[in-house]
Structure 1
Amino acid sequence: MKSITLLGLLVSALIAYPVKAQPSGDRDLTYNLAIARPSSSTQTSPVDLAFLAYRGYLKNQDSDSYNVLVTRYISGSITSKNIVQAAINDNLVSASALNDRGYLSALDATIRDFEMR
């Protein structure tokens, strides 16, 4: 009985042996760099931008990092639009982010979360 089961498994394994697929010669198999590498127009997310600003990575940002950013944000001396403008100057986001209410709202929410830390 065991030999029949073993023989059945062996036959099944041979039948199901994977076959290496070969591409047909007429198809173009070039590498698409546009898919492999994100375009330069990819925007930094609002959450990532908030963390960059919080850590002081924005060159043109007119504030220091960490708690100084939060303090100035609470006082109103820096706004999410100021941060987005600095990110535009550093080519991290497109200019359209400056008028994107959803983007600005997400940035505001993330910075407000820093207050609670």
Structure 2
Amino acid sequence: MLTKLLVTALVIAFAWATLKRSSRVKTTKKPAADLGQSILRRYMVTGTLAVLLLGSASYLGWYWYDGSQVLSVTIVSPNHSGETVYQVKKRDISQHEIVTLDGITIRLSNQERVIIATSAK
């Protein structure tokens, strides 16, 4: 995911540098209409970059916020009569293991039943 964002940023930076270089090469006088289009193009490129950066920052912020939510994970084992409840961040839950807030890694078997619920604050 981060690689895609970096590649996109590099492509945008390269395109922006190319547009700036091509505008510097032309040293002849421009009519007023061309000047208006040049200014409009500059504002559109800047606006597009701003929207892309804002969108990327929003997405990354939401991804971090959603992954940081604390959930209650209840594990019910068929071998034991009781059930155990752990506090886990959402991003630390995978298919075969969980990592608790205390840093304990718990590997899950196929026989265990896992119940995930949001923690009441």
- The two structures share one fold, judged by TM-score above 0.5: no
| Structure having greater relative contact order (Cα 8 Å, sep ≥ 6) | 1
Q: Given the two structures, how large is their TM-score scaled by the length of structure 2?
A: 0.22
Q: Given the two structures, how large is their TM-score scaled by the length of structure 1?
A: 0.22
Which protein has the larger Cα radius of gyration, Structure 1 or Structure 2?
A: 1
Structure with greater strand percent: 2
Structure with greater helix percent: 1
